[in-house]
Amino acid sequence: MDFLPVFLNIRNKACLVVGGGEVATRKVMLLLQTGAHVSVVSPELSSALNEFHAQGKIQHHAEFFQSGHLEDIVLVIAATDDRDTNRQVSAAAQQRQIPVNVVDNPDLCTFIMPSIVDRSPLLIAISSGGQSPVLARLLRAQLETMIPAAYGHLAAMAGKFRERVKQHFTHPEKRRIFWEKTLQGRFSEMVLAGQDEAAQDYLLQSLQQEKDQPPQGEVYLVGAGPGNPDLLTFRAMRLMQQADVVVYDRLVSPAILDMVRRDAERIYAGKERNRHTLQQESINQLLVRLAQEGKRVLRLKGGDPFIFGRGGEEIETLAAHRIPFQVVPGITAASGVAAYAGIPLTHRDYAQSCIFVTGHLKNNSIDLDWPHLARPNQTIVIYMGLLGLPVLCQQLIAHGLPDSTPAAIIQQGTTQKQRIVTGTLQTLPDLAETAHLTPPTLIIVGQVVKLHQNLAWFEPASEAENTQAHFLALDQLEKPSAE
């Protein structure tokens, strides 16, 4: 993050706005809404600011800015159309370590003014870090239509009972679960419908029925998909926000891990070749122990938990210990990565079947049913096969597939770091080595790979930049010399 989102309490605090035009007027109005004492420095004021001054809502210094205006000020906004003045304000404020915002100039800011969805006491702030204020405002407009105005009243109603709920539950986890259930149930519906008295009675009855005892633990076995956060399911997102602790694998991308509840404990249980942070049996027992402690455990696995994810082994252990669990499927790498690479896994002209296998090397060999794999009109998808790629290609050729069979290897598919190398069974190992590919990768073998050239639709940012640089270079070559 370029900026840390915070909410400042400036009620009854002295704030300064430099500028007297329409932009300054909007900033003054926002500060007044927070209960700040606002002073404005400007030779002239807009009609609205003149009215505020006449009503005694603001103080006015009818002069140009001087550093002395910052005495006892806790926050400054520069909203003039003079860049030199804005620079002067920013430098003077930063010298005194006073937070300063310069409108439309993030380089001079120590804080950003976000777009705000106001459902007080519920506030939502949206910022693009100064890169695209219009985009932030468009997102705010969408949220305004999605979040009823009564949500502010709902937050206030919940606040009235916050201390009482806190006294009822000595276990913080139980308290959090109660509020999650309450705010997603009938209590919220009653408040939003204006039935305040009925809502209060319902909440009190619900509270009396809840015993103050440790919560029952549960495990959520969730597929995180192939890496792109946009491919998560709604159910996965909901459970990711409810979990008390997350046990995650190496293939779970940082962008997805960032979407887990902020205060959830994180435990890395990744596996790499010849280096396992935790053995599988240890992971199984860890899930049991955490659930027995009353925690809601998110077991987050790359792809789908039941496709080369050992999810079945984990829930077998949970079932043996009578631990409640849920399973949320994820988009497996085969379908997700192939789709983003523009390679259909089946096609009536090229492949009428598809098979998934794992390409782990053991003693420099791979124990697979080669005759079954080396069949015509079939797509082979190989997980975890980068290291064994030469052996895989050799064996498929040895068992009947032509060495000219199209093949592709995709690194970090579906993400902005996606890289695709295509060739044949004969050429792909050398091409992959030249490209210096690293895990995670997925290998696809079959005639459908030929469709990649025409069907590739996803262009990662890195490829787009390379393409742009390529055309710029060509453009420069075509221009006559300035000499």
pLDDT tens for residues 267-310?
999 766 555 568 889 999 999 999 999 899 999 999 999 999 89
Backbone angles phi, psi at 33, to 5 degrees: -65, -25
**What tokens were used for 112?**
């950003």
Please report the sign of the dihedral spanned by the C-alpha atoms of residue 434, residue 435, residue 438, residue 440.
negative
The active-site residue, picked from 13, 57, 82, 271, is: 271
| Average pLDDT value for the chain | 90
Residues 6+ apart with CB under 8 A from 322: none
| Statement: residue 31 has pLDDT above 50 | yes
Beta-strand (E) ranges in 58-133?
Answer: 58-61, 75-78, 100-102, 115-119, 122-126
Query: Under a CB-based contact definition with an 8 Å cutoff, are residues 417 and 375 in contact?
Result: no
Question: Contact, 240 vs 229, CB < 8 A?
Answer: no
Burial of 257 (0-12, 13-18, 19+ CB in 10 A): middle
Catalytic residue among 27, 249, 295, 304: 249
Beta strand 122-126 with 218-223 is unpaired
β-bridge mates for residue 222, sequence order: 300, 328
Instruction: Quote the CA–CA distance of 214 and 295 in Å, as a whole number.
Output: 9
To the question of pTM greater than 0.75 for the whole model, the response is no
Reply yes or no on whether the pLDDT at 395 is more than 60: yes
pLDDT band at 479 (very low <50, low <70, confident <90, very high): very low
Determine the average pLDDT of the residues in 460-482.
46
Check if 174 is active-site.
no
φ/ψ of residue 40, rounded to 5: -120, 130
Strand partners, 221: 299, 327
- CB-side exposure of 158: number of CA atoms within 13 Å? 23
249 catalytic per annotation:
yes
Q: Of the segments 17-31, 115-129, 259-273, 358-372, which one has the largest average pLDDT value?
A: 17-31
Give the model confidence (pLDDT) of 176-222 as tens digits.
889 988 998 899 999 999 999 999 999 999 999 888 877 789 999 99
With b for 16 or more beta-carbon neighbours within 10 A and e for fewer, the 100-134 pattern comes to bbbbeebebbebbbbbebebeeeebbbbbebeebe
* Nearest by Cα to 325 from 249, 247, 222: 222
The pLDDT tens digits of the residues spanning 301-337 come to 999 999 998 999 999 999 999 999 999 999 999 999 9
- Asked if 62 contacts 38 with a C-beta cutoff of 8 angstroms, the reply is no
